[in-house]
Amino acid sequence: MDFSATVILAGLILALMWLFSIKNSRKYRLPPGPFALPLIGNLPQLDKNAPFKSILKLSETHGPVLTVHLGWQRLVFLVGYDAVKEALVDQADDFTGRGPLPFLIKVSKGYGLGISNGKRWRQLRRFTMSTLRDFGMGRKRMEEWIQEESTHLRAHIESFKATPFDPTFLLSRTVSNVICCLVFGERFSYEDKKFLHLLNIISDMLKFLNSPVGQLYNIFPWLMEHLPGPQHTCFAQVQKLRDFVDMKIQEHKETLDPGSPRDFIDCFLIRINQEKDNPTTEFNNDNLVSTVLNLFMAGTETTSSTIRYALSVLIKYPNIQEKMQNEIESAIGQGCSPSMENRKSLLFTDAVIHEVQRFLDIVPFSLPRYALQDISFRGYTIPKDTMIIPLLHSVLKEEKQWATPWSFNPQHFLDQNEKFKKNPAFLPFSAGKRACVGESLARMELFILLVSLLQNFTFSCAGGPDSINLVSEYSSFANLPRTYHIIATPRLRNKHVVGLSCSPSASF
């Protein structure tokens, strides 16, 4: 069959699927939505550079729960805090399904924690959460790993001697090394060429997913598999990540001591051996490879991009940077490593970090949920096999939840007495039973690394504050911040504070 015949056949198949979808939808009281065109659905109505903005606009007409068609695929969007919270928290059991995003299925080969549902998801999530806790996620041990990694980061920044540099991959190396300690039981040298190549692949993969071609792959995966384009290069690169993970797992198998597990991989291998006679177990090599890949990728790019964005914010608003530095110096000085205990006394700093996450809005669509069965919600029926998108962007920028949603404003997280205050609409990690498994780790990294950087450096750029644009460079699946060459000027050590005890409860 030649190429033109393949395209025609694909078009006919998609047309039939669309007609079946329209006929099938009449059986249900679907959430309202705009009229969908044959084959392409509502694609012409979406801004390819920032599609979440188009969904917000459509919700003004059709309400906070609306149906949109991307190609032949039906999606239900949840817009605003009330709708998102009602679904993900109040009806949590109905919304635990993970949407079969074609890109992620291709990357993970259908295995692993990130894309799984049902028994597989429950087993892998329970195991992953307990194992990461055992190895220090949210505890003192992990805090010490982050503190140690911050010393390597500071040393590399100091080597630039207050000259401009791009922090992108330096921050990726730092953040990735933290998850590598948990998963692989080791950190990698910042000069390790293989490590750098893997980080480049992760960065390029996220850029592809944000591109128009990446979006088309998720809408028309079968067609895109048969067309030339960058999708084939992307997946070839992803295979290199899988090969690296396979190699590390093999190394662990050869040196495994069942009585003394070193990391996540060891624990999973021990569990595989324990359940080798269980025909229904989900503890197998395929799930191990893909779950490690999930943790490695997710634990690298989002947190490092958030820190990079925070540095841009501090350069844009030097008064905020100075106020944070004064608070840090007053509370813990310059001579000791920050700890999570210091959050109690760094209220403004903590508020700024929260506002960075809110304002960046790094995953505006969240990861899609999926109707594993018909779901009744707000008087509508969301049919089985429908993709569900909790629009986190609409929560983090909702006008009735935030005083100035479109401005960077740390006061969103401070009360009238300048004490830290929580906001239930702060959901950068999503919510409910499929919220990010690495939330506590990410919070710890953001706080310790940013406080450590501000203890030791003042950040600026050659073009001055006005040259910084906080609007994301890429805005689709993820909001990726713009890249700047920044200057890190070492701060003078204050001889009166260098010798302070690092214990937050120390008395003098």
User: pLDDT tens digits, residue range 177-196?
Assistant: 999 999 999 999 999 999 99
Determine the Cα–Cα distance for residues 184 and 287; give it in Å rounded to an integer.
16
Six-digit token string for 349: 């700093």
CATH of the domain at 144: 1.10.630.10
Determine the Cα–Cα distance for residues 99 and 105; give it in Å rounded to an integer.
10
pLDDT at 220 over 60: yes
Assigned domain for 229 exists: yes
Question: Average pLDDT of the chain?
Answer: 89
Determine the Cα–Cα distance for residues 454 and 315; give it in Å rounded to an integer.
12
Q: Which residues contact 502 (CB under 8 A, 6 or more apart)?
A: 332, 335, 336, 337, 339
Into how many domains does the chain fold? 1
User: pLDDT tens digits, residue range 254-311?
Assistant: 999 999 999 999 999 999 999 999 999 999 999 999 999 999 888 788 999 999 999 9
Question: DSSP of 278-302, one letter per residue?
Answer: -TT---SHHHHHHHHHHHHHHTTHH
| Residues 264, 131 contacting (CB under 8 angstroms) | yes
Q: What angle do helix axes 168-183 and 439-456 make, rounded to 10 degrees?
A: 130
Determine the Cα–Cα distance for residues 461 and 391; give it in Å rounded to an integer.
34
Determine the Cα–Cα distance for residues 378 and 252; give it in Å rounded to an integer.
50
Assigned domain for 440 exists: yes
pLDDT at 333 over 90: no
Assigned domain for 390 exists: no
Assigned domain for 175 exists: yes
Assigned domain for 305 exists: yes
**Domain span including residue 124:** 118-323+403-490
Task: Match 């003004």 to its residue by tokens.
Answer: 60
Determine the Cα–Cα distance for residues 159 and 330; give it in Å rounded to an integer.
27
* Closest listed residue to residue 78, CA positions, set 67, 68, 64: 64
Assigned domain for 290 exists: yes
The number of C-alpha atoms within 13 Å of 17 and in the hemisphere containing its C-beta is: 16
| Number of C-beta neighbours around residue 299 at 10 A | 23
Determine the Cα–Cα distance for residues 284 and 268; give it in Å rounded to an integer.
9
Six-digit token string for 278: 């269980």
Q: What is the pLDDT of residue 475?
A: 76
| Residues 348, 414 contacting (CB under 8 angstroms) | yes
Question: Would the pTM of this model clear 0.75, i.e. be above it?
Answer: yes
Which alpha helices (DSSP H) does 186-344 contain, by range? Answer: 193-210, 212-219, 221-225, 230-255, 264-274, 285-298, 301-316, 318-331
Determine the Cα–Cα distance for residues 451 and 311; give it in Å rounded to an integer.
11
| Low-confidence winner among 116-130, 277-291, 360-374, 492-506 (lowest mean pLDDT) | 492-506
Q: What is the pLDDT of residue 137?
A: 56
Model confidence at 499, pLDDT cuts 50, 70, 90, reads very low
User: pLDDT tens digits, residue range 46-100?
Assistant: 988 788 889 999 999 999 999 999 888 899 999 999 999 999 999 999 999 998 8
Q: Taken in order 393, 460, 302, 138, is the CA torsion positive or negative?
A: negative
Assigned domain for 358 exists: no
pLDDT at 502 over 70: no
Assigned domain for 484 exists: yes
pLDDT at 15 over 90: no
Determine the Cα–Cα distance for residues 508 and 333; give it in Å rounded to an integer.
14
